[in-house]
Amino acid sequence: MWMTCKCAVVNIPFGGAKGGVLCDPYAMSAAELERLTRRYASEITLLIGPDSDIPAPDMNTNPQIMSWIMDTYSMHKGYSIPACVTGKPLAIGGSEGRIEATARGVMIIAREAMREAGIKPENCSVVVQGFGNVGAVSARLMAELGCRIIGVSDVSGAVYNPKGIDIQYALRHAKEHGALRGIPGTEAISNEALLEVPCDILIPAARENQLTRSNTGRVQARLIIEGANGPTTPEADSMRRTAMRSAPGNQSEVVVVRAKIDQAFQAVHRGLRGLADHERYDFVYTRISNTEPYYKQLVSLVGPAEAVAIIVDAWMNAEKVAQ
């Protein structure tokens, strides 16, 4: 449902379906992962396609996996169909800027939220939960903005330093050691404790339901910029302190994906970097700002009927709301 809501609030005509395989890809060899991916792609061939359902990468997937899905689908159809998936390598029609699209959108939303809250980057402390494509790139971009990253986490746990963490070093350390734990000058803490660290901005960029009824009262961030899908439960959202603001920040990915699908159908390729840095993200910020009432209403729903009604209403009023 989160993907459906996310697409609706930015007026993108995607349904938001999800699918996957329950496995640990890090415990598999490259050959095993390829066989699994291709078999999965074969089984869903009748369900996917450029005119029906277009798979995109998410947790534990990457451009290589998406290229296997594209190749398998194309083999079944008898000719190459690049538009059947997104997130492919650049060499076979992928989008420039696609990998960091979500994180760059997070940074743009955070920057604008900071401006509205009167927080200067040089005085801003940031905590990032999750160190995948969204979390790691968000941390890097926030650091480049001038913010001080004081805490980051991955599956191994969290590291914390109130004076700041060198994100470039953290990226190298994670690549070399496979985990963030052990970065010199940092304190090892739990992922749960990281969410409660005093900071100006908290970016939950891992999984759903991280800020819940049980821990939201201890969260000390001034701003929460959501990099993951649904990291804040409806109960937690209603319990937030009045001084704390929250904003959805990961819609930019689907905007970039939509642009790439349009290119695939037109059989053209444009340089996406400049457009991604300006038009797409300005569009995302404007849409999120103007449709925030819809988003807040969606996350507090208790039944599918109301969800459908609100999504349809958002679609019908999209142009009026965006003015």
The partner residues of 221 in beta bridges, in order of sequence, read none
* Distance, CA of 139 to CA of 100 (rounded, Å): 11
Rounded CA-CA distance 241/238 in Å is: 9
DSSP H helices in 178-266: 191-194, 234-239, 252-266
- List phi, psi (to 5°) of 191: -60, -35
For 24-60, b where at least 16 C-beta lie within 10 A, e where not — what string? ebeeeeeeebbebbbebbeeebeebbeeeebbbbeee
84 three-state secondary structure: helix
Q: Is 18 a catalytic residue?
A: yes
Q: What distance in Å separates the CA atoms of residue 113 and residue 97, rounded to the nearest whole number?
A: 23
Cα separation, 110 vs 102, in Å, equals: 12
Among the listed residues 18, 163, 175, 296, the single catalytic one is 18
Cα three-residue angle 112-204-216, rounded to 5 degrees: 100
The structure tokens 């904003």 sit at 247
Q: Which are the catalytic amino acids?
A: 18
